[in-house]
Structure formats: C-alpha cells, structure tokens
Amino acid sequence: MSETNRKMNREMNNPLSFEDLEKVYDLLAVAIDAAGPEKEALFLAKLCLTLAHEIGSLAAIEGAIEIAKADLHS
C-alpha cells in the first residue's frame, strides 16, 4: 500500500458499510444512465468535485484517485 493510500485510510473516519456501498453503486448506475453517454463524463466530473469538496482532505482525495486508477490499463 502506498503512503498516499495509507494517509487516505487514516483520514477516512467513517467508511460506508457494504450495504451502503451497494446502494451507492445502484444510485450511480441510475444517475449515469439518466445522464446518457454524452453527459456521463461531465456528470462524473461534477460528482467527483462535489465529493472532494465534502471530503475536504487533499490526501484522502489523492489516495482515492490512485485507488480508482489502479488496474485501468491492464
């Protein structure tokens, strides 16, 4: 685990339960479908910036980006 990921894990003090993560997945799927292919990237960018503002921790955001990038090109 990278240092950035360790910092993120320390700073994320209220992780979601598995059940809540499933709800988030469902909400995202519905919202992405509603946005449509032409607006999907815009929706996801707006969502990420909104969540980054809510999180308020650059280290946590950097760690989340690294986790999300993992295995994208394999």
Query: What digits encode the pLDDT tens for the residues 27-59?
Result: 999 999 999 999 999 999 999 999 999 999 999
Could you tell me the residue ranges of all domains in the chain?
A: 3-69
Check residue 74 and give its pLDDT.
Answer: 74
% of the chain surpassing 70 pLDDT: 82
Q: CB–CB of 12/60 below 8 Å?
A: yes
User: 22 pLDDT exceeds 60?
Assistant: yes
pTM: 0.75
Better-predicted residue by pLDDT, 26 or 3? 26
User: 63 exposed, middle or buried (CB, 10 Å; 0-12, 13-18, 19+)?
Assistant: buried
Q: CB–CB of 1/67 below 8 Å?
A: no
